[in-house]
Amino acid sequence: MATDQPESSSKHSHRPKWDSKFQYLLSCSGFVVGLGNVWRFPYLCQTYGGGAFLIPYITTLVLGGIPVFFLELAVGQRLKKGTIRLWWHISPYLGGLGYSSLIVSFLVSVYYNMLLAWILWYFINSFRNPLPWSSCPTDTKLIEECHKSTPTNYFWYRYTLNISTDIGNSGPLQWWLVLCLAACWLIVFICTVRGIESTGKAMYFTAPCSYLILTLFLIYGLTLPGAVHGLLYFMTPNLKKINNPRAWLDAATQIFSSLSLGFGGLIAYSSYNPSINDCELDAVMIAAINSLTSLFASIPIFSILGFKATVAYEECLERNVKSITKAFRKDNITVDSSAFWLSYLNGTDINKLASLKLANCDLQYFLDKSVSGTGLSFIVFTEIVIKMPGSNTWAILFFLMLFSLGVSSIFGLIQSILTPVTESPIVSRYICKEAVCGLICLSAFLLGLLFALRSGNYWLEMFDAFGGTMPLLVIAFFEVMAVAFVYGMKRFSADVEKMIERPLKGYWKAMWLFFSPGTMLLIFLFYVLVEPPSSYNTWNPNYVSYLYTRCFMLAFLFNVLPLSFQPHI
């Protein structure tokens, strides 16, 4: 058990410090604001009743998200250690909790950088004029496949992924993806090689760049035809949809993944703060920035989706008009020619009109077509951008924005690994920080080659669905329990009051003791009841494999590790 006396300041005199408070806030904001704010939050709003989704979102944010966020910042600032030594310091039996955070951070960084590799590939191809996904190729044998689908689908699934038919058919490495992945890891290594000294400086570019481009998209998106339809769809609440338990589960998982809870990056970042620092204000401010960024990003996204729905609606009407023109040999028909439509609703032509099997053109139907993740960025947006004036410019800006958001987040993931590893007495004695960072990036790159195979997209979807969701919730639950009941709430409250130099509000104590653990426990129960995803049917052998793998990983992370790893410090 840890002693009640804080460690002497001389032990931390060699520890790096942030250049400024602004650099620290910028780094934390860059860590928590990532790709999910742009391509998952708008999708959840679209799926669960528009503005009504904010009810479960804000509820879980207040009861679980912000209190755990504050706790991680406070405990890191107080004990000034990485995750492994920090939890071992509180109790030797909690040492495995730090290893769990490290392992999850490493696994997530392995596949997360593959997303950046795909983004980099699209960014490079955005300089080609015309855009390569604007039409089907003419020099391949797969042109028939493209015409049966769409050019954007063809470019994504065949030209980029060259995807196999199933996860068992791996195929060879795709050299263009290997090169992009290597370039991404080289960028990450350069920006994290010196720890926060280099990461903090890189954040001066990546974080503002994302917001600047997002603002440009906001301004331009509002001027697009049909943008108002997308915004009305986003802002109109449908309260019936939040009766679905899945809405509350998805809101909670979005909060925990978006705030990057459980990774250990927040603990690592805050451990480089001075002992006297208002971490309470920091927690509220950064969490607010994260949520407001999600809302801010939703406006241009829904404006663009409204534009896409309007274009699709008008194209549907045009196809109907062409069919009628051909059938009735009328040359003066337009979409707005209502007199024509009425004139053929009587007489003998009604049967001929019915035989045409015209499409039911409904704007609401096109607005309801939801998509998230890679589908939003690499299929939907690429389809929209070719219809926008200056398509190359907007494609370049869009993928530059995604890359800036993603690379800022992976800086925090690498720091989650680098800080506890370099604090190990053996590692710090024989290996310099630069070499440790290089080994982390190299090993992650080699493991990430799995996602550069033809079956890589299947593996990435599994890692994304199961690797960075429930393990983080379990880690966060044990973090709160460890601080509240092992370290002691009275003792921790006194430490926080010294750091923020004012009395701690009773709200935080109530959250840490009762509401936050209770909320996370309810989320876990919902997860058990609502899961598994529909993509894994019970008769599918992959589903059985998934269950056994999942149970083994959870047992290993949270039972074997706490008993096996009790580092001597």
Task: Return d(Cα 251, Cα 274) in angstroms, integer.
Answer: 34
Does 129 show up as a binding residue in the annotation?
no
Q: What per-residue confidence (pLDDT) applies to 173?
A: 92
pLDDT digits (tens, 9 = 90+) for 31-57: 999 888 888 888 888 888 788 899 999
pLDDT of residue 289: 94
What is the average pLDDT across 372-381? 73
Reported as a single tens digit per residue, the pLDDT across 272-312 is: 999 999 999 999 999 999 999 999 988 888 888 888 888 88
Q: Is 210 annotated as a binding residue?
A: no
Residue 112's region, left for phi above 0, alpha for psi from -120 to 50, else beta, is alpha
- Beta strands of 109-229 (E only): which ranges? none
33 is in an annotated binding site: yes
351 is in an annotated binding site: no
- When pLDDT is averaged across residues 129-136 and rounded to a whole number, the result is 88
What integer pLDDT is reported at residue 196 of this predicted model?
A: 83
Q: Is 564 marked as binding a ligand?
A: no
Q: Is the pLDDT of residue 369 over 60?
A: yes
Tell me, what's the pLDDT at 436? Answer: 93
User: Tell me: the pLDDT tens digits for 397-429?
Assistant: 999 999 999 999 999 999 999 999 998 888 888
Task: Band the pLDDT of 438: cuts 50, 70, 90.
Answer: very high
Q: What is the DSSP string of 171-199?
A: --B-HHHHHHHHHHHHHHHHHHTTTHHHH
Q: Which residues contact 177 (CB under 8 A, 6 or more apart)?
A: 114, 117, 118, 121, 160, 161, 451, 452, 456
Give the per-residue pLDDT at 386.
Answer: 86
**pLDDT value of position 27:** 92
pLDDT at 517 over 60: yes
How far apart, in whole angstroms, are the C-alpha atoms of residue 45 and residue 185? 33
CA atoms within 13 A on the CB side of 437: 23
Distance CA 443, CA 86 (A): 25
Phi, psi dihedrals of residue 395, rounded to the nearest 5°: -65, -45
Residue 322 has pLDDT above 60, yes or no: yes
- Cis upstream peptide for 562 (omega within 30°): no
Two tokens, residue 116: 């950046």
> What residue type is 97 in one-letter code?
L
Query: Left if phi > 0, otherwise alpha if psi is -120 to 50, otherwise beta: which for 323?
Result: alpha
Lowest mean pLDDT segment, chosen from 42-46, 281-285, 469-473, 544-548: 544-548
pLDDT tens for 329-364 read 655 555 555 445 545 544 445 666 666 667 778 888
pLDDT beyond 90 at 372: no
- Condensed to tens digits (0 to 9), the pLDDT of residues 173-187 reads 999 999 999 999 999
Structure tokens at 176: 């263009």
Residue from 267, 281, 277 nearest 79 by CA: 267
Q: How far apart are CA 344 and CA 125, in angstroms?
A: 49
Whole-number Cα distances in Å, 233 to 202, 217, 230, 293, 299? 37, 19, 5, 19, 11
Question: Which region among 25-29, 167-171, 479-483, 488-492 has the lowest average model confidence (pLDDT)?
Answer: 167-171
Contacts of 16 (CB under 8 A, 6+ apart): 195, 196, 197, 272
30 is in an annotated binding site: yes
Q: What is the CA radius of gyration of the chain?
A: 26
Span 549-567, average pLDDT: 46
Residue range 462-486: average pLDDT?
86
List of residues 6+ apart from 457 with CB closer than 8 A: 161, 163, 374, 451
Distances in Å between the Cα of 78 and the Cα atoms of 2, 151, 412 are 13, 54, 19
- What share of the chain in percent tops pLDDT 90? 40
Cα 185 versus chain centre, distance: 18
* Nearest alpha-carbon partner for 361 in 328, 320, 394: 320
Q: What is the pLDDT of residue 43?
A: 83
Q: What values do phi and psi take at 201, rounded to 5? A: -70, -40
**How confident is residue 4, by pLDDT bands cut at 50, 70 and 90?**
very low
525-538 residue pLDDT tens: 877 776 654 444 44
pLDDT on residue 353: 60
Q: Give the pLDDT confidence score for residue 538 in this predicted structure.
A: 40
Q: Which domains does the chain have, with CATH numbers?
A: 21-304+374-560 (1.20.1740.10)
Sign of CA dihedral 557, 562, 566, 569: positive
Q: Tell me: the pLDDT tens digits for 202-241? A: 888 888 888 998 999 889 888 888 889 888 888 888 888 8
| Mean per-residue pLDDT of the chain | 82
Q: Assess whether pLDDT exceeds 50 at residue 18.
A: yes
What pLDDT band is residue 8 in, cutting at 50, 70 and 90?
A: very low
pLDDT winner (highest mean) among 259-263, 303-307, 379-383, 561-565: 259-263
Burial class (CB in 10 A: 0-12, 13-18, 19+), 490: exposed
Q: Which of 504, 516, 498, 562 is nearest to 77 (CA)?
A: 498
- Please indicate if the annotation marks 438 as binding a ligand: no
